[in-house]
Structure 1
Amino acid sequence: MTILVTRPSPAAEALVERLQRAGRVAWSLPLIEFTPGQDLALLPQQLAALHPGDLVFIVSQHAIHYAAAHLRQAGFTWPATVNYYAIGRSSALALHAASGHAAAYPRERETSETLLQFRDLHRLTGKRALILRGNGGRELLADTLAQRGATVTLSECYQRCAKYYEGALEGRRWRDRGINTIVVTSGEMLQQLYSLFPAIDREEWLLHCRLIVVSERLATLARECGWREITVADGADNDALMRALQQT
């Protein structure tokens, strides 16, 4: 098995290093990179507007990375009287490291769908919910919280930017290196991966690779694109991806 990791830096390089230490052949091809979001200047005001018992949701650890840096610069501390939620363990750990506050998160599938099953998120009338996230992305979390009665505010803490690669050159590079397993951690990256290479590379090589994805939703998207060999990891962090790769 020869593995290509498409998640962003530095997580991609960290996973490749772990795989290589485990005796696997692995390479990285980050498909997106991150820059500060457009709503960071508003974040202290948005957090200050929350009342005790209101909700803060962390969509990814990248949101914490940029939010925490901005709040430190502004001399603003994370409120202690609100309830914090994270999509996954990495985001919860990032929040705790930045603020000292704990966040509830799904222990099995690290998805918005699983988080929304939490009993205390079913009735939210009168609550305010602040979602720290990147540009674009899914609206499921925000829409569902609003349907359950919360007043929802979105805060764009970071932006995802596609990295440019020459598709024909990359196709030859990775085919020559014998890539047959690819790690993909978001729908955006899955579509970018599919669109990057010329049709002949997709038909002769890319769609024959095994995909390691992080949710059933991504697996469904991959099947719709034409992939057949798909493994769903039990989380989106590198530990979960390592477990999935060790089982293939």
Structure 2
Amino acid sequence: MDRAPLVLVTRPERPGRLLAARLRDAGSGSGVSALWWPAFDLVPLPEDPALQAALARLAGFNLAVFVSPAAARACARALRAPWPASTAIAAVGAGTRQAVLACIPEAGRARIVAPSDDAAAGGGSEALLSALRQADLAPARVLVVRAQRGRELLADALAQAGALVEQVAAYRRTVHRPDSCAWAALRAIRDLGRPIVPFLSSSEGVDALREQLAAGMPPLPWNEIRAALCLHPRIAGALAARGVADAIVCDADAASILDGLRRAPETRSGTLAS
């Protein structure tokens, strides 16, 4: 049990906090612990004319795509009228769908498409595209509400399918700066010689985590990260490019993460054996 790993949960905001808590509960019997260590803070943009202009034309879009709960909340703050029932809504997962319904006035009047929890865990953009195909949606005009920087997969795939796609930024991601309590918890585990295994939900999170660890006092060397868990093969590729070859793809739930730890050579031990 002394060598049981610490999982760094890098998913931002409430989904990351909940996942870390559930992983602590599920891993308590095997000694596995978890620390919420968000890669990013999601910061709303100041009132932006481009976002305001796009939202003023909502009724002219057949579909609006929200890439995260943060996108839904930022849209809700900028909206000046109820959501038009004629504009369908696409959400990358259940959390985003819940944020849309909770934050955006009259969103429940519109058709909402989102992948199942199981599908979304394997890769949000890809799962949403599959859900849109299954829903037989072929929108002519699409608005994508997103971060300032991010993947182009959704917009590119929708454009290739014949849609006229407009993207608008509603928030930005900044690398999170862990506080002294988080650093103390991380160093305490490291000093015990236990493996530190990050769980990453985006490719961009790989370099964000490297930046965080390098900024520590003292820094935590990246080469001490010998194994990682991630949501998608593209993230495993980003990890491999940064020298972490032992990257296990798993879903974003406690049971899948514990199973991933059992499959990772760096963390496989008697305390994690089935």
Same fold (TM over 0.5): yes
| TM-score (normalizing by structure 2) | 0.73
Q: Could you tell me how far 1:115 is from its partner in structure 2?
A: 2.8
Indicate the residue corresponding to 1:9 in structure 2.
13
Amino acid at match of 1:87: V
Indicate the residue corresponding to 1:34 in structure 2.
42
Please show how residues 119-198 of structure 1 align to structure 2 within 5 Å.
Answer: 119=133, 124=139, 127-164=140-177, 175-176=190-191, 178-197=194-213
Uncovered stretches (5+) of structure 2, i.e. residues with no partner: 262-274
CA contact (8 A) 1:190 1:222 kept: yes
Q: Could you tell me how far 1:61 is from its partner in structure 2?
A: 1.0
Out of 48, 59, 64, the position equivalent to 1:56 is 64
CA contact (8 A) 1:112 1:141 kept: yes
Amino acid at match of 2:97: A
Out of 244, 252, 274, the position equivalent to 1:227 is 244
Write the distance in 1 (CA, Å) between the matches of 2:158 and 2:82. 25
In the superposition, relative to structure 1, how do residues 141 and 49 fare at CA in structure 2: closer, same or farther (>3 Å)?
same
CA contact (8 A) 1:37 1:135 kept: no
RMSD of the alignment, in Å? 2.9
Amino acid at match of 1:241: D
In the superposition, relative to structure 1, how do residues 26 and 192 fare at CA in structure 2: closer, same or farther (>3 Å)?
same
Write the distance in 1 (CA, Å) between the matches of 2:234 and 2:148. 20
Indicate the residue corresponding to 1:237 in structure 2.
none
Uncovered stretches (5+) of structure 1, i.e. residues with no partner: 235-239
Q: How many residues align?
A: 233
Indicate the residue corresponding to 2:77 in structure 1.
69
CA contact (8 A) 1:231 1:244 kept: no
Indicate the residue corresponding to 2:271 in structure 1.
none
Write the distance in 1 (CA, Å) between the matches of 2:137 and 2:86. 20
| TM-score (normalizing by structure 1) | 0.79
CA contact (8 A) 1:34 1:160 kept: yes
In the superposition, relative to structure 1, how do residues 88 and 197 fare at CA in structure 2: closer, same or farther (>3 Å)?
same
In the superposition, relative to structure 1, how do residues 60 and 179 fare at CA in structure 2: closer, same or farther (>3 Å)?
same
Percent identity among equivalent residues?
28
Q: Give 3-state SS (helix, strand or coil) of 2:221's partner.
A: helix
Indicate the residue corresponding to 1:245 in structure 2.
257
Q: Could you tell me how far 1:20 is from its partner in structure 2?
A: 2.5
CA contact (8 A) 2:11 2:37 kept: yes
In the superposition, relative to structure 1, how do residues 121 and 45 fare at CA in structure 2: closer, same or farther (>3 Å)?
farther
